[in-house]
Amino acid sequence: MGKLIVLDNPIIKHKLTILRDKNTGTNEFRQLIKEISVLLAYSAGNDLSLEEFEIETPVAKTTGYRLSGKKLGIVPILRAGLGMVDGVLDVFPAARVGHIGMYRDEETLKPVDYYCKLPKDANKRDIFLLDPMLATGGSACDAIEKLKNLGVESIKMLNIIAAPEGVEKVRKEHPDVNLYIASIDEKLNENGYIVPGLGDAGDRLFGTK
């Protein structure tokens, strides 16, 4: 079974509270999404492999370390996942970036695909799939399926807020995927929104409502 890591950290709780607040404006919202994404990226990088090499400090020779193993790919689910890209790229600047475009039909809550462009060698990379919201899990499962159909074997999904229903669906349908989440909230409401959540992440990021 893949990992389920929920970041239990006072800094995250502090930042999440401001993010949730309906009075937080677009600019600060975008900045907080980025900052929390950095913390999620560090957490998701905990098991990356290292190789040793020798360096010289101004004082002495010592053993240094650099990330080794598979190259990385970052794949945001549009639109809201875009808000997480810069933070994750700050941590892994050499990663390639692909995009999966998907929106949730307001009536059926089912994801509708509209775009997909991934690195040619995506199947050889460890993929970090980004979406701030994991609600019913429909969009996440479709995006994971797309990646797997291209031969991707290692997927880590980074979410800022998840509903228990979405976590359960991803774990059931894709038990090999590792999940890194800043908060698992209480539930979904009758409109498929996460409670207490933060509202519509895409609209709050881009100021479209």
Closest of 18, 17, 30 to residue 204, by C-alpha:
30
139 binds, among ligand PRP, ligand URA, none (CB under 5 to 8 A by kind): ligand PRP
Q: Residue 58 is which amino acid?
A: P
Looking at 15-23, 24-32, 167-175, 187-195, which segment touches ligand URA (CB under 6 A)? 187-195
Question: Minimum distance from CB of 199 to ligand PRP (Å)?
Answer: 10
CA distance linking residue 181 with residue 98, whole number of Å:
21
Per partner kind, with CB cut-offs from 5 to 8 A, the member of ligand PRP, ligand URA, none near residue 77 is: ligand PRP
Comparing CA positions, the residue from 71, 206, 77, 89 lying closest to residue 137 is: 77
Phi, then psi, of 80 in degrees rounded to 5: -60, -30
Other CB atoms within a 10 A radius of the CB of residue 25 amount to: 10
Assess 200 for contact with ligand URA (CB under 6 A): yes
List residues binding ligand PRP (CB under 6 A).
77-80, 103-104, 109, 111, 131-140, 166, 192, 200-202
133 touching ligand URA, by CB under 6 A = yes
Query: How far, in Å, CA of 206 to CA of 209, rounded?
Result: 8
Binding status of residue 72 toward ligand URA by CB under 6 A: no
Q: Which residues are catalytic?
A: 104, 108, 200, 203
